Amino acid sequence: MKLALTGATGFVGQRLLARALDAGHTIAALTRHDQQSRERLDWIPGALEDRDALERLAEGADAVIHVAGVINAPDAAGFEKGNVEGTQAMLAAAARGGASRFVHVSSLAAREPGLSQYGASKARSETKVLTSPLDAVIVRPPAVYGPGDRETLELFKMARRGVVMLPPKGRLSLIHADDLSDLLLRLAEGGGQAGATYEPDDARENGWSHVEFAEALGRAVGRDAITLSMPGGVLRAAAFADRFVRGRKAKLTPDRAAYFCHPDWVVTRERRPAFWSPAIPTEQGLRATADWYREKGWI
């Protein structure tokens, strides 16, 4: 197939790109910066606000996988531009390019749009997808981890130091980036039902408690890590402090703190894709990710 891919330079996008090429697909991928050329890969310079670039990206594509999005922004307008307007622009380009399938990567945060600006923007992006005339499916990944991820890197670093600071008591689901990528490719190839919303995970029933996940991180790095759950108020205060110190570069924003404090980010069983199953057990995946971080000198 010929696939059009956004977000190919990000963590999930890089893993997806590699697996798509390994599977024999031809890829057109959007990029803001110069990239190394590869066989069956056409880098399209541009961004989601560049209509001409999106036209070139989607031209002749059998399917579009829209991974790009904004997970951290200084205000609601930033999320709106990256997640809602960007999705709308990509949908329009896909329709003009004649794509037979549109795969939209959303987030479990869309399930609780009242909690955060991020979640609200992802929910609005889903509405754009579901009301488009395209044959489209939505994927809401839970927490994604794997080699190259900088979001969970801080947790691995804490586990390596022996103390993992956690949000308030709660549970979450996990998925390895390679498993997520394989699902996205299955959907791009025509799997699943048009108009469906899928929530994939590692198949662990009822997910992981925050403490269980931290203990698994400790095992992955070879430490018996101590876990400390922070009250919501402390986490929110830390977010304001991070914004004060690092400004627009803050990693822990008040918006993200609100998301982290929610007690239930476990996938909905009824939304698990019945035609797909994960291949990477989480304990194994965490160990391999820790090994990768060590090899690269990240931990």
C-alpha to C-alpha distances, 271 to 15, 200, 265, 266, nearest whole angstrom: 23, 8, 13, 11
**What is the per-residue pLDDT for 244?**
47
Q: What mean pLDDT comes out for the span 247-257?
A: 65
The yes-or-no verdict on residue 141 having pLDDT over 60 is yes
Each residue's pLDDT tens digit, 76-97: 999 999 999 999 999 999 999 9
**pLDDT level of residue 238 (50, 70, 90 thresholds):** low
Give me the sheet containing 101-105, strands edge to edge.
41-45, 26-31, 2-6, 63-66, 101-105, 136-139, 197-198
User: Residue ranges per domain, the chain?
Assistant: 2-146+173-206+264-279
Each residue's pLDDT tens digit, 58-80: 999 999 999 999 998 888 999 99
The yes-or-no verdict on residue 248 having pLDDT over 80 is no
Q: How many percent of the chain have pLDDT more than 90?
A: 81
Dihedral sign of CA atoms 91, 92, 93, 96 in order: positive
Tokens representing 160 are 């390596």
**What is the per-residue pLDDT for 257?**
73
Q: What mean pLDDT comes out for the span 145-162?
A: 94
**What is the per-residue pLDDT for 247?**
55
The yes-or-no verdict on residue 254 having pLDDT over 80 is no
Radius of gyration of the chain (CA): 19
Q: How many residues does the chain have?
A: 299
Q: What mean pLDDT comes out for the span 90-117?
A: 96
Distance of CA 214 to the CA centre of its chain: 20
Partners of residue 265 on adjacent β-strands: 172
User: How do 41-45 and 208-209 pair as beta strands?
Assistant: unpaired
Distance between CA atoms of 140 and 272, rounded to whole angstroms?
A: 10
Most confident of 237-241, 244-248, 277-281: 277-281
The yes-or-no verdict on residue 160 having pLDDT over 70 is yes
Under CATH, which number does the domain 2-146+173-206+264-279 receive? Answer: 3.40.50.720
**pLDDT level of residue 251 (50, 70, 90 thresholds):** low
The yes-or-no verdict on residue 165 having pLDDT over 50 is yes
Distance between CA atoms of 270 and 253, rounded to whole angstroms?
A: 32
**pLDDT level of residue 240 (50, 70, 90 thresholds):** low
Distance between CA atoms of 201 and 196, rounded to whole angstroms?
A: 16
More confident residue, 123 or 260: 123
Distance between CA atoms of 220 and 114, rounded to whole angstroms?
A: 35
Q: What is the mean pLDDT of the chain?
A: 92
**pLDDT level of residue 166 (50, 70, 90 thresholds):** confident
The yes-or-no verdict on residue 162 having pLDDT over 70 is yes
Q: What residues contact residue 288 under an 8 Å CB cut-off, 6+ apart?
A: 147
- How many CA within 13 A on the CB side of residue 120? 15
**What is the per-residue pLDDT for 288?**
98
Q: What residues contact residue 13 under an 8 Å CB cut-off, 6+ apart?
A: 5, 6, 7, 29, 67, 68
**What is the per-residue pLDDT for 110?**
97
Q: Where are the beta strands (DSSP E) in the chain?
A: 2-6, 26-31, 41-45, 63-66, 101-105, 136-139, 143-145, 163-166, 171-172, 174-176, 197-198, 208-209, 226-229, 264-265
**What is the per-residue pLDDT for 75?**
87
